[in-house]
Structure 1
Amino acid sequence: MEAEIKYLNVTEKHFLNHLNFLQSMNQIETNKPASLYFTTESEDDGKFHSYIILAVYNNLIQASTCLKTPFLVSSTYTRDIDKEAWLAYHKWISENTSFFQNLLNGLEDAGFNELKVLEPAYHSMMNIIYDLKLKTKQQKDLQKDQIQLIYRY
């Protein structure tokens, strides 16, 4: 069963509670992920937004953060369309590193161990990628679990 919670304005702890709930209800399967969405700001304040998408395969989690603007959500969005949006996005990234660190700390507190944060690698002007490796106490049969935070606009 796939569970989806869209655009919740919640804290990292609130997100982790949702994740624990889904796990306890056996709604997270390896072949069909549960997707959890939450925004960092309210939906209708007219500001630029970023949000986090977490696709959960048992205890393997892939997390992506994406820019969301009130006027455009498009895979063809490029820096040339709105340079102000590009600058606002990078300002958001630089000012919110503690938000992601808090999320990682919360995951660690929730039972994830061997959490390692690698330095960001700049693969292009379009993507800034963090690779995070983790292993859970409950899922010892998995050799490697990964979290990936992807900043994309």
Structure 2
Amino acid sequence: MALIYGLFGLLIGSFLNVCVYRLPRGESIARGRSHCPSCGHVLSPLDLVPVLSYLALGRRCRYCQTPISPRYAVVESLTALLYATAGFSGTWTGLVAGWPSSWLLLAPLVYVIVLSVFWTWHLMRTPLLQALVKQALLVAFIQLLLPFFPGLAW
């Protein structure tokens, strides 16, 4: 079950990357095809497979050979890990049962978004980011403990 949630997390992570790239530039997240930020070439579906395309292309654009930021693969991988952890721990059931345990799933996504924005704008060493990363790790650790301590999920 965790594998299915992890794959879903890859797709969510890919969408988060779209949002982080397009929204600050005033671009639509619903319209327009994904393209290389360097050469502008529209990417094919094979270029858009989360993490696998990044690795298969040798971390470079297929068309202009410009290096692709590792942020894309990191955001997709982190989101997949968070979703897989939630699937493993049963946190996902909180989306139906009630909001407190679903918060344990949504809060780390907010941290992933903040992390990717900070990475994009070169603010990685700020104290705020360091605190957010520590909190995200704590929440992920709590998610792993949930199956062993049922009372922890409220």
Q: TM-score range by the shorter chain?
A: under 0.3
User: Which structure is higher in helix share?
Assistant: 2
Bigger fraction of residues in strand: 1
Of structures 1 and 2, the larger Rg is shown by: 2
Which of structures 1 and 2 has the larger relative contact order (alpha carbons within 8 angstroms, sep 6+)?
2
Give me the TM-score of the superposition, normalised by structure 1.
0.26
